[in-house]
Amino acid sequence: MSEERETAEFVHGRMPGDIFLRRRRMRPQGLRRALAVPGLFSTGYGNVGSSIYYALGVTALYALGAAPLALLVAGLFFILTVLTYTEATTSVPEAGGASSFARHGLGEFMSFVAGWATMLSYTVTISISAFAVAGYLSVFFPELVTYPTNVVFTVVIIGVLMALNVIGVREASTVSILFAALDLTTQVLLVAIGAIALLNLPLLISQVSFGTAPMWGNFFYGISIAMVAYTGIETISNMVEEARNPERTVPHSYGLLIVAVIVLFLGISVVGLSAMPVHQLPDGSYSTDLATTYINDPVAGIATNLPDPYRAIFRPLVAGLASTILLIAANAGVMGVSRLSFSMGTYQQLPGLLGAVHRRFRTPYVSVIVFCAVAAAIVLPGNLGDIADVYIFGAMLTFTLAHLSVIAMRFREPDRSRPFRLRFAVPIRGVQVPLSAIIGGMGTFAVWIIILSTRPVGRWVGLAWMLAGLIVYIGYRRRHGLPLNATVQRTVWHRTIPTNLGVTPAGRTVKTR
């Protein structure tokens, strides 16, 4: 916002009779526009790309040799969701992601639902990613695999990321860019060398027999699990208020994200199944070491199965690769949830304290501290396996509402400027509705229903989180006399340059510092 206002007050000087008129120019608080394409891409890639380190093994458990195909199908829904986010983010350049989209398309109440679901997936991202860092670093420090050492180490990581994000987004973004560059380089090398040393196309084709290995039901569930590998799209849209020239940088960042994530995910899965092919067990079932021995660290399994001398080189390299990208993911989660809290607090969906911006660093420091503390508390038991279902619950609900919001905005705000407009639309009641949003919304909603109906931990924890959020939202709005479905924006002001006018006993007006 560019609006400014001025306040004035009289103060007494040091000498008897001296009176000073102090004026202060004030302007609305806002986030610093410090991010270009590298910063946006690296934080987005850190959040999306990290999932392969724990999603690949679980996907192979169900999809077996068809795991690359499951990742590809899930990747198609990822592309559709990215397209939706690109149109919505460039049309509504506000921090908040799906929460902001829903505000314009579905109303304030659904805006809160989308924002609160996003917070769930972000908070879990911080916990899982930081905790996984300890597992991969155990290659160098074996004691990190034991409890409670791994938990203490994870809490320290979260604390460091909290400090970086309180200091300012530029400092945190620099760390993300550095780690993303190192990770991308290592991933490309792993895929390239793995393809040269291990790739066996006839073997890859022969180990897929739909109806047997995998069973059709397991394959479709594998696609649902593979969606975990593509969560984190919200990160870029939640940082749009900190992006330079968002009409240009946001589409470019999302485009790079699509190419990098899908190409590398497919490459890693193909190399992994070449190194650890599907085989039949004595009981007649089928499996792969990717989904058994190395289910918790599948990329480390790929490095271990490389022939010498690559094994000795890539085992520590993969440990460093996984640690850096998971650290980026945790940092991106902190940045995303804190900026989303800032947005929701500004619109009085949450207590205003969460939207407070630090006077010196101009960062939403209260929300950074609060949600890092929550993430640290989540990791204390040292067992986060069941929380993966909660992760999917929040992310798929968020994506579904994002697709619905883009469709609704075509009806409610047909004349809105759309720098990036989705093509291939179908006419509905005289309005061009993007086909990609329709298909994408149906796909993400189907995955959410699968989690809701078949995964008890994801179902009950996710529903409990949403219920708690609704209680806070409804209670806060009613306590302040605000309607539940009306947009009410709070403008938070901070002081800029004070100007003092001094009046001496002789009546002479002078400027003072």
The model's pLDDT over 194-211, given as tens digits with 9 standing for 90+, comes to 888 888 888 888 888 888
By mean pLDDT, which of 236-250, 313-327, 336-350 is the weakest? 236-250
Q: Evaluate if residue 503 carries a pLDDT over 80.
A: no
Q: Tell me which residue of 201, 227, 151, 165 sits closest to 379, measured CA to CA.
A: 151
The reply to whether 369 falls in a domain is yes
pLDDT of residue 271: 92
Q: pLDDT tens digits, residue range 111-123? A: 999 999 999 888 8
Q: Evaluate if residue 300 carries a pLDDT over 90.
A: no
325 and 453 part of one domain: yes
Q: pLDDT tens digits, residue range 163-177? A: 988 887 554 556 667
163 and 302 part of one domain: yes
User: Per residue in 11-22, is it b (16+ CB within 10 Å) or e — as a string?
Assistant: eeeeeeeeebee
By mean pLDDT, which of 216-230, 283-297, 406-420, 486-500 is the weakest? 486-500
The reply to whether 211 falls in a domain is yes
pLDDT of residue 176: 64
The reply to whether 304 falls in a domain is yes
Q: pLDDT tens digits, residue range 138-172? A: 878 888 878 899 889 999 999 999 998 888 755 45
47 and 17 part of one domain: no
| SS3 at position 443 | helix
The reply to whether 487 falls in a domain is no
Contact between 264 and 188 under an 8 Å Cβ cutoff? The reply is: yes
Average pLDDT over the chain reads: 80
For residue 470, give both structure tokens. Answer: 């609704």
Question: What is the count of structural domains for the chain?
Answer: 2
Bridge-based pairing state of the strands 279-280 and 286-287 = antiparallel
pLDDT of residue 243: 67
412 and 456 part of one domain: yes
Q: pLDDT tens digits, residue range 69-125? A: 999 999 898 889 989 988 888 888 776 778 888 998 999 999 999 999 999 888 888
20 and 35 part of one domain: no
The reply to whether 364 falls in a domain is yes
Residue 496 is inside which H or E element, if any? strand 493-503
pLDDT of residue 8: 52
**Beta carbons within 8 Å of 340's beta carbon, 6+ residues apart:** 95, 96, 97, 99, 115, 118, 119, 122, 234, 238
> For residue 391, what are the domain limits?
31-479
Q: Evaluate if residue 14 carries a pLDDT over 80.
A: no
pLDDT of residue 175: 65
190 and 274 part of one domain: yes
Contact between 394 and 118 under an 8 Å Cβ cutoff? The reply is: yes
Neighbours of 408 (CB within 10 A): 20
**Beta carbons within 8 Å of 55's beta carbon, 6+ residues apart:** 225, 226, 228, 229
Contact between 372 and 159 under an 8 Å Cβ cutoff? The reply is: yes
Q: Tell me which residue of 315, 449, 314 sits closest to 393, measured CA to CA.
A: 449
The reply to whether 484 falls in a domain is no
18 and 55 part of one domain: no
pLDDT of residue 269: 92
459 and 364 part of one domain: yes
Backbone φ and ψ of 287, nearest 5°: -160, 175
251 and 180 part of one domain: yes
- Greatest alpha-carbon span in the chain: 104
354 and 372 part of one domain: yes
The reply to whether 486 falls in a domain is no
pLDDT of residue 273: 92
Place of tokens 């679980």: 58
What global pTM score does this model have? 0.79
13 and 117 part of one domain: no
- For residue 398, give the CATH number of its domain: 1.20.1740.10
Neighbours of 230 (CB within 10 A): 28
pLDDT of residue 254: 82
DSSP codes of every residue in 334-394: HHHHHHHHHHHHHTTSS-GGGG---TTT-S-HHHHHHHHHHHHHHHTTS--TTHHHHHHHH
161 and 277 part of one domain: yes
For residue 82, give both structure tokens. Answer: 């990215």
The reply to whether 337 falls in a domain is yes
| Burial (Cβ within 10 Å: 0-12, 13-18, ≥19) of residue 491 | exposed
